[in-house]
């Protein structure tokens, strides 16, 4: 349904996935079920709401799991699309939406990098926030992942995001992504060229939350301090392993673990609602969540077929479970 349904069906499918991948077990199950390719496709859908839901799903899928991070990094077009969506929050009032497939004509100096979409709407800023969270999680996979992210041209839009009127959550993820990328020697020059110093100073002097300002100060000190001679060189032939073969440049120590931030919130499945608090599960399938009985009824026509299908699958799984027949 996510890959072949109409817009309403795709939205319902994405809302279900957002709720499923909120927990690590659900995220692992979604990857195993093949959710990553259609989610990557939705990043390029041109529909801001669907792009935000897809990016938020990938953000949660890539949280604290190298196998899931690797699955997204290996998906063609996924990283390039996430990098493109980092530009969805902009300081200007202009609006454009350009999205080309990986390897297409995106007008970028980096192969496979998509053109940056620019908008100041709240929905577009949310897309940028979710994309920044996903890129941050991918950067946690290690130096090799950071090389791929650096080659995808992520530094300029991440720095640009620091200057935007984005949410504190977006700033938080952008700064942490850049801290991980600073493990690579090539990242420092790109940050300086992109104007990271003034962007970080802007955050320190602005109205961001204290933890965001502190993170900005930490990265600014790292960027303007002495050059780290242990930073990993960006040579294409270098591949770091857990043991570190002889002759390879040592990786810099990973940055200190930051305070935990919440995952993307569950949202009411009713079209146009967006409520994230006081949600209750659908009494039938237990997958969708609603903020009120009115929203549940409003979405029932779109959800009915899927709800019954999920109930049938759950009943079949219960019947096949060991000891199910003896318990009846």
What does the DSSP assignment read for 239-279? Answer: ---SS--TTSPPPPPPPPPPPP-PPPPP---STTT---SS-
CA 319 to chain centre: 37
List the chain domain ranges.
Answer: 7-99+109-234, 272-316
Question: How far, in Å, CA of 117 to CA of 97, rounded?
Answer: 5
The pLDDT assigned to 31 comes to 96
DSSP readout, 156-221?
Answer: HHHHHHHTSS--HHHHHHHHHHHHHHTTBHHHHHHHHHHTHHHHHHHHHHTT--HHHHHHHHHHHH
Count of CB atoms within 10 A of residue 315's CB?
A: 10
Overall fold of domain 7-99+109-234: 1.25.10
- Going by C-alpha positions, the residue among 316, 309, 302, 265 that lies closest to residue 284 is 309
The predicted pLDDT at position 114 comes to 35
Helices (H) and strands (E) in the chain, counts: 15, 2
Question: Cα(127)–Cα(105) distance, rounded to whole angstroms?
Answer: 23
Distance CA 199, CA 220 (A): 9
pLDDT tens digits in sequence order for the chain, 328 residues long: 676 678 888 889 998 998 899 888 999 999 999 999 999 999 998 899 899 999 999 999 999 899 999 999 999 999 999 999 998 755 443 333 334 333 333 333 333 333 333 344 677 888 998 999 999 999 999 999 999 999 999 999 999 999 876 678 889 899 999 999 998 989 999 999 999 999 999 998 887 888 889 889 999 999 998 765 555 544 433 333 333 333 444 445 555 555 555 545 578 888 778 788 788 888 777 778 888 888 888 888 888 887 887 777 777 766 665 554 444 4
* Residues in Cβ contact with 230 at an 8 Å cutoff, skipping those fewer than 6 apart: 250, 251, 252, 253
Confidence at residue 322, expressed as pLDDT on a 0 to 100 scale: 55
């Amino acid at each position: 349904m996510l890959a072949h349904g109409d817009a309403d069906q795709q939205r319902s499918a994405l809302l279900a996935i957002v709720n499923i991948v909120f927990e690590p077990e659900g995220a692992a199950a979604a990857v195993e079920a093949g959710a990553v390719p259609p989610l990557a496709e939705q990043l390029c859908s041109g529909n801001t709401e669907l792009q935000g839901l897809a990016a938020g799903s990938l953000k949660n899928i890539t949280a604290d799991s190298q196998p899931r991070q690797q699955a997204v990094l290996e998906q063609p077009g996924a990283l390039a699309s996430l990098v493109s969506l980092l530009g969805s929050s902009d300081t200007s009032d202009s609006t454009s939406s350009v999205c080309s497939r990986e390897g297409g004509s995106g007008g970028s100096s980096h192969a496979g990098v998509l053109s940056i979409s620019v908008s100041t709407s709240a929905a577009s800023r949310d897309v940028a926030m979710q994309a920044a969270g996903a890129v941050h999680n991918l950067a946690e996979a290690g130096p090799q992942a950071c090389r791929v992210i650096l080659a995808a041209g992520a530094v300029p839009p991440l720095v640009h995001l620091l200057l935007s009127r984005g949410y504190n959550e977006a700033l938080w993820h952008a700064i942490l992504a850049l801290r991980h990328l600073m493990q690579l020697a090539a990242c420092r020059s790109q940050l300086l060229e992109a104007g990271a110093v003034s962007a970080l100073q802007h955050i320190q002097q602005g109205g961001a939350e204290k933890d965001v300002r502190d993170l900005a100060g930490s990265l600014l000190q790292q960027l303007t301090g002495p050059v780290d001679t242990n930073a990993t060189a960006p040579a294409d032939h270098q591949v770091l392993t857990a043991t570190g073969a002889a002759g390879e440049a040592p990786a810099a120590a990973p940055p200190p673990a930051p305070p935990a931030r919440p995952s993307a919130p569950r949202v009411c499945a009713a079209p146009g609602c967006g409520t994230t608090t006081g949600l209750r599960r659908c009494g039938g399938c237990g997958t969708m969540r609603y903020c009120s009985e009115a929203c549940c009824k409003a979405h029932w026509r779109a959800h009915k077929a899927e709800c019954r299908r999920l109930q049938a699958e759950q009943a079949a799984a219960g019947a096949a479970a060991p000891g199910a027949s003896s318990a009846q």
